[in-house]
Structure 1
Amino acid sequence: MAIYKSGEELMKEVRETKGFGDAVSFWSLGQAGILLKGKEEDGLLCIDPYLTSSIEESNPETEFKRAFPPVLNPAMLQDLDGVLVTHGHDDHLDLSTIKEIARVSESQFGIPAPLVTFVQEHLKNKDIYSAKDGEVFKIKGFKITPIPAAHTEYEKDSSGNHLFLGYLIEVNGIRIYHSGDTIVTPELIEVVKAFKPNVAFLPINGADFFRTSRGIIGNMNSREAADFAAAVGVDLLVPIHYDLFPNNRENPAYFVDYLFQHYPCQKFHMMVPGERFIYHK
């Protein structure tokens, strides 16, 4: 797996990237990890960072082994203003990563409400937003609206709060949807279509009987992601959640071929870990 940039070289690029007009810069961290930057005053936001090897270190027998090393050490994210977590699976809520981010930065954390008590035990005295369906909050220049995700069904805790979330994000005139882990549902299409996202980060690893039988919970596949993007009117589609774990992949070439056959005018970009993309409206 190619890594475009990593370490201090990557962080230098992040610091030196400036946003002008209606634009947003983003970097792929691998799996579902995305780093977002608008104008300088908007700050720096990270979604679902898995920047360690904690899964395989805690369980050497696991089939979830990284195909490439982390593009950043979490301690390099001193300038981070916010972290959003979509749900509690270890490749999205990596305590080793967020504890180190909390140690080195003044970052605020957006955590699904059912997980807040658990996370607070590890991030003592840190500013944690209890993310709930439809309840808007801000982290510096980022306006964030949590919405439910179905992984692979909608699940709530005893208080009625969703365990799995996606995020609708507005910054510097750009509307972004990060789905987290989810399948497609009519409700999701309705909510995201109303948001009119310029950019959408969608999983394409899909699901099948044998992965499900081993406890691997699925997502939309490459066809569903393309169809969903067309249904909600996404301008730029960026696939995620297909690169890090060889046991839970779908060939991105299938995604590209399906777009070519069915949506030849759909803008998309396949990112390699550590790559920057600057989106202009």
Structure 2
Amino acid sequence: MAGSPSRSSALRALRPAAFGVDPSGERMARIRRSPHFRDGVFQNPGGPSRTRPSGSARELAKVYFDKDRRARRAPLGTVPVHATTLADLARPPADGLRLTWMGHSAVLAEIDGHRVLFDPVWGERCSPFPFVGPKRLHPAPLPLAALGPVDVVVISHDHYDHLDMPTIKALADTDTLFAVPLGVGGHLEHWGVAPSRLRELDWHESTEVGGLTLTATPARHFCGRGLRNTQHTLWASWVVAGERHRVHHSGDTGYFDGFKDIGAAHGPFDVTMIQIGAYSDFWPDIHMTPEEGMRAHVDLQGGRAGHGLMLPIHWATFNLAPHPWADPGEGTVAAARAAGARVALPRPGEPFEPASGAVPSRPWWRGVAQAPAGGWPVQEALTGAAIGVAGTAAAVAQDDTESDSSGGASEGAEGARARPAG
């Protein structure tokens, strides 16, 4: 019928706003020019990866709906959230670096006088619909409006548990800038963010925000928000470097050797924020286990496990995988002890300064998690001091090895003195 909308136009009108938009125009032209875009899609480093569950749907359903396993995938009680206050965040960090894990992959990093907010998700569900989809297991530590001014919001990719439309719409009414991977900017513009406030980067591209340099670095994952996943939006990890400090946020990723290259080009880091949850044998290429996350942390530190601090992210807030709720935390502690690395274990909303002697290091989740059959490991073995001692021993051992291989014990000792502690 003349004048009636086309079928495609009608379908677009019914498309939920949370789906965002597919890249088009100059944005799509830039995507096609990317060296990482081939055969009509963005390519992962290290070759093809499985982005859909391996094995049969029947096997996956059997694991997901097993009664005993389902009970362990959520906390037994109320998750102990730190009630973050304006007073917590009003005082500048003594050494210039403070991090506040807001749950899942959301982290407020205060670095050298600037405030960076990674992957903010304040919504109740990570879903395009308010009535279905993974629901929060704990509330946001504080209202988004109480967070205070943010210089730049950094998005790792466009999955719902990292890019939340209600949160972006709220931030669109502020003066913050947004740093996003190539193609993701279309979603933000669709939700009211002015193009002038976007910094849209391909891997290995950088942008300056105040005194910070933000660099999009590779990750091994995938993208998509709608029913038709075009793979036309990039995913990324991020490096943020200030005058005195530098941090790395992994986004979502499978383990790959590229972490060594990122560490060589941009590290070592004061803090790495590493994805260690929502892993499964059904999708081993796109999410890391805690052990793989620790390998990534060590790679990013140039092989020196004792350097810097690892903050485990992408866990405890949403139920996104078959593993027990507490396993990412327990696995991270075990991996840290094995590697001799320092980890921070804050409750959601608990600020900490990596250079202070008060980095959270207690396994807080045990009070609300179902204990394993053999019980929890000995509490005293998991303190920050014990992990720190292990890290020091590992660093000394590595220094000794390097000293022996270079033929000079005094040179190795001098290197150890010159290297920043932790």
TM-score of the aligned structures, taking structure 1 as reference length:
0.84
Instruction: State the structure with more CA Rg.
Output: 2
The answer as to 2:189 corresponding to 1:114 is no
Structure 1 pair 156–187 and aligned structure 2 pair: CA distance change class (3 A):
farther
Any residues of structure 2 matched to 1:225-244 within 5 Å, and which? 225-233=293-301, 234-244=307-317
SS of 2:184 mapped into structure 1: helix
Read off the aligned partner of 1:228 and give its amino acid letter.
Answer: A
Structure 1 pair 157–209 and aligned structure 2 pair: CA distance change class (3 A):
closer
Structure 1: gaps of 5 or more residues: none
Any residues of structure 2 matched to 1:40-189 within 5 Å, and which? 42-55=113-126, 58-62=129-133, 64-103=134-173, 105-125=174-194, 127-151=197-221, 163-189=234-260
User: In the alignment, which residue of structure 1 is the partner of 2:73?
Assistant: none
Moved more, 127-136 or 72-81: 72-81
Q: Which protein is richer in strand relative to its size?
A: 1
Asked whether the 8 Å contact 1:24–1:171 carries over to 2, the reply is: no
User: In the alignment, which residue of structure 2 is the partner of 1:268?
Assistant: 343
Asked whether the 8 Å contact 2:218–2:258 carries over to 1, the reply is: no
CA distance in 1, matches of 2:263, 2:352: 22
SS of 1:55 mapped into structure 2: coil
Residues 118-151 of structure 1 deviation map (CA, whole Å, 9 limit, x = unaligned): 2112124351111221111122232111112111
Q: Superposition RMSD on alpha carbons, in Å?
A: 2.6
Moved more, 139-148 or 27-36: 139-148
Select the structure with the greater relative contact order (CA < 8 A; seq sep ≥ 6). 1
User: In the alignment, which residue of structure 1 is the partner of 2:10?
Assistant: none
SS of 1:83 mapped into structure 2: strand
CA distance in 2, matches of 1:251, 1:79: 32
The answer as to 2:273 corresponding to 1:201 is yes
CA distance in 2, matches of 1:242, 1:124: 28
Read off the aligned partner of 1:271 and give its amino acid letter.
Answer: P
Structure 1 pair 101–217 and aligned structure 2 pair: CA distance change class (3 A):
farther
Moved more, 116-125 or 90-99: 116-125
Q: Percent identity?
A: 20
Read off the aligned partner of 1:220 and give its amino acid letter.
Answer: M
Moved more, 246-255 or 109-118: 246-255
Residues 133-183 of structure 1 deviation map (CA, whole Å, 9 limit, x = unaligned): 111112223211111211169x9966xxx6111111112411111010011
Asked whether the 8 Å contact 1:51–1:72 carries over to 2, the reply is: no
Structure 2: gaps of 5 or more residues: 1-78, 224-228, 302-306, 356-419
The structure 1 residue matched to 2:262, chosen from 191, 194, 200, is: 191
The answer as to 2:98 corresponding to 1:25 is yes
SS of 1:200 mapped into structure 2: strand
Read off the aligned partner of 1:108 and give its amino acid letter.
Answer: L
TM-score of the aligned structures, taking structure 2 as reference length:
0.57
CA distance in 1, matches of 2:271, 2:122: 23
Residues 162-221 of structure 1 deviation map (CA, whole Å, 9 limit, x = unaligned): 6111111112411111010011111232222432222100011152245x4xxx984111
Give how far 1:61 is off: 3.4
